[in-house]
A and B are shown apart, each in its own frame.
Chain A
């Protein structure tokens, strides 16, 4: 098992997690993914990458209040957390965690994801 896969598998222990995915923000390509098979994940990855780049562009570079860190999305059935892992080479790599809303708490999930995220690329 690769180091990326092993690190991503840690997220499956978070309550409600369906998939944990590393996405190349420049292309929307799924670099690595673990969890439940999801035929929509490739299209979702492209959309999530587009969204994150759009937010980064809107924020602009070198802002005094910092760069984009995370985007949390809540739908009727899902919680989705997108977290920037690496800024260079630009636009970088992001972690995308998809959770069942009925089994998750956004605040707790966000905390657990933020605690596990630094180990993904280490």
Chain B
């Protein structure tokens, strides 16, 4: 049953609040009832959580990449293979997951493992954001996890992630923070040179992309991207500018910190945050690309001992 007003819903739908356990409490109640339904979560990023027989079989949210983005952006599958499987599944009335396995594009165990990791990331993104309310909705899960995941595992994993992020040194990193790569000069000061994966990430950090954007661009999980960027920041390789909205912090008794904006921050009791600029001024995307190009030049072997253009020298081996 779907309703425009979460308060009118016949089920245990409602608004987030410590008195009813928030969205986490709602999920537990639906799970305890053995429900099979979709819960549309209003908020930022919000999303839809799909339940099947009391387990969670899917979650769609703009806050974290789904399996399609992960498989295509990582290069695990080609677009042609994906499109062919999608069309065939639709025509044959099969689930897309079954079709990918049937075509030997993914193993059955691989599909399950990747669906579980994507689901955990999506649930984390929804719970770590702002939740304004939820209600049952009419929606079908496009790639259901079978068998469904236990809600206790997913909710516990979400709490673990928030605690892990809170334990990192420095200000909390939010999915909406914008990230800028430091200059190659700063890279030489780092304990070690960035590896290939980190260089790829640094190349995308143009000061306009948010942490969430970077996750989608690379086909990486939101939580994995938050971790990686926090580590790069600690090494002085990126600067992270607070965007002002939600930050990820350990859950309170309601399970979900509500963080609608700057004025709500102290009310929510979130850790204080401040901008983190390497140079004090935002760097434009064009300037960022110039710095990255200069950094890549440093990595190429030279035939002589002379300095590269721009006065840079090879990093220490």
The verdict on B221 contacting chain A, using a C-beta distance below 8 Å, is yes
Chain A 89-113 interface residues, beta-carbon cutoff 8 Å to B: 89-91, 93
Assess whether B134 is interfacial by the CB under 8 Å rule. Answer: no
Among B287-314, those with CB < 8 Å from A are none
Q: Is the CB of A121 within 8 A of B107?
A: yes
Task: Find out whether the CB atom of B108 lies under 8 angstroms from the CB atom of A122.
Answer: yes
**Which chain A residues lie closer than 8 Å to B227 at the CB level?**
26-27
Complex Cα distance A88/B220, Å? 10
Nearest CB of chain B from residue A98's CB, rounded to whole Å:
19
Residues on B with beta carbons closer than 8 Å to the beta carbon of A61 = 195-197
Q: Count contacts between A and B, CB distance < 8 Å.
A: 71
Chain B interface size, under 10 / 10 to 19 / 20 to 34 / 35 or more: 20 to 34
- Cβ B160 vs Cβ A42 within 8 A: yes
B151 on interface, CB distance cutoff 8 Å: no
Interface positions of B from 105 to 126, Cβ below 8 Å from A: 107-110, 112-114, 116-117, 120
Interface status of A3 (Cβ within 8 A of chain B): yes
Contact with B along A70-95 (1 / 0, CB 8 A): 00000000000000001011110100
Q: Are B195 and A60 in contact (CB under 8 A)?
A: yes
A3, B109: Cβ atoms closer than 8 Å: yes
Contact indicator B147/A29 (Cβ below 8 Å):
no
* A-B contact list, 11 entries, CB within 8 Å: A4-B112, A22-B113, A27-B117, A27-B221, A29-B120, A29-B157, A57-B195, A62-B196, A91-B197, A93-B113, A121-B113
